[in-house]
Amino acid sequence: DAEITQSPRHKITETGRQVTLACHQTWNHNNMFWYRQDLGHGLRLIHYSYGVQDTNKGEVSDGYSVSRSNTEDLPLTLESAASSQTSVYFCASSERRDQLRSYNEQFFGPGTRLTVL
Amino acid sequence: KNQVEQSPQSLIILEGKNCTLQCNYTVSPFSNLRWYKQDTGRGPVSLTIMTFSENTKSNGRYTATLDADTKQSSLHITASQLSDSASYICVVSGTGGFKTIFGAGTRLFVKA
């Protein structure tokens, strides 16, 4: 069955370290997204990609970067981890981009809980 | 400013009872509204989607309504079960590029 996976599921790191969170989907979806989820907030978009070599900033992109070298993977890198980046991170994918509408359902991974000490 | 507000923040009900969750939004121009269910420790899963021309959509015991004029939506859960304990997230998308706003969610606890 097609799926979307994230690794690691839990990560503890120290301030200033570089951290990379993996996201892998086997849906063959063009679109992939990274969100963070914090108490009292809705999911907030960090970065997204509409296809290989395409990346775009979301509303909370500072301190994060992504790269898309193939259809299946969109790794999220925290260049220098900060305590404010302690959060639960979700990766999602959807079928294709429609410029006028956003009908396409996003399928979410299980999340990565990141703690920055 | 595009916003999605959900109420209540949390809700406790007894198994077998009905409940209604609310979502108000200001996203414009409007494209569609989804309700997601998120179990603890899991990613959200879509329950329903409605476009501006639809005012009700059902998925089993879940029924979503949409009033595009007042920019309000509700999710009604009938005959609740323990497995309905989860967060329910309202997600509103606009047109013209990627504009999707997630509400903070309503945390539902169903007690035996």
pLDDT average, residue stretch A101-107: 69
Q: What is the pLDDT of residues B11-57, one digit of tens each?
A: 999 999 999 999 999 988 888 899 999 999 999 999 998 988 889 99
The answer to whether A38 and A46 have CB atoms below 8 angstroms apart is: no
> What integer best gives the mean pLDDT of chain A?
91
Interface of B with A (CB under 8 A): 4, 31-32, 34, 41-46, 49, 51, 89, 93-105
CA of B28 vs chain A CAs: smallest distance (Å): 12
pLDDT average, residue stretch A45-65: 94
Q: Which residue in A9, A102, A104, A113 has the most chain B C-beta atoms within 10 A of its own C-beta, making it the best mutation to test that interface? A: A102
Beta bridge partners of A57: A47
The region that residue B83 occupies, defined by phi over 0 for left and psi between -120 and 50 for alpha, beta otherwise, is alpha
Place of tokens 């998308």: B93
Q: What is the pLDDT of residue A100?
A: 42
Is the C-alpha dihedral spanning A93, A96, A99, A102 positive or negative? Answer: negative
Q: What is the pLDDT of residues A19-36, one digit of tens each?
A: 999 999 998 999 999 999
Structure tokens at B27: 């996203």
Q: What is the pLDDT of residue A2?
A: 76
Spatial distance between the Cα atoms of B32 and B67, rounded to a whole number of angstroms: 12
A97 band by pLDDT with thresholds 50, 70 and 90: low
Q: What is the pLDDT of residues A66-87, one digit of tens each?
A: 999 999 999 999 999 999 999 9
| Nearest CA-CA partner of B34 in A59, A17, A105 | A105
Q: Hey, are the CB atoms on A41 and B104 less than 8 Å from each other?
A: yes
A98 band by pLDDT with thresholds 50, 70 and 90: low
Q: Hey, are the CB atoms on B43 and A103 less than 8 Å from each other?
A: no
The answer to whether B45 and B88 have CB atoms below 8 angstroms apart is: no
In this structure, how many other beta carbons lie within 10 angstroms of the beta carbon of residue A11?
A: 17
Q: Hey, are the CB atoms on B95 and A101 less than 8 Å from each other?
A: yes
Percent of chain A scoring above 70 in pLDDT: 92
- In this predicted structure, the answer to whether residue A96 has a pLDDT above a threshold of 80 is no
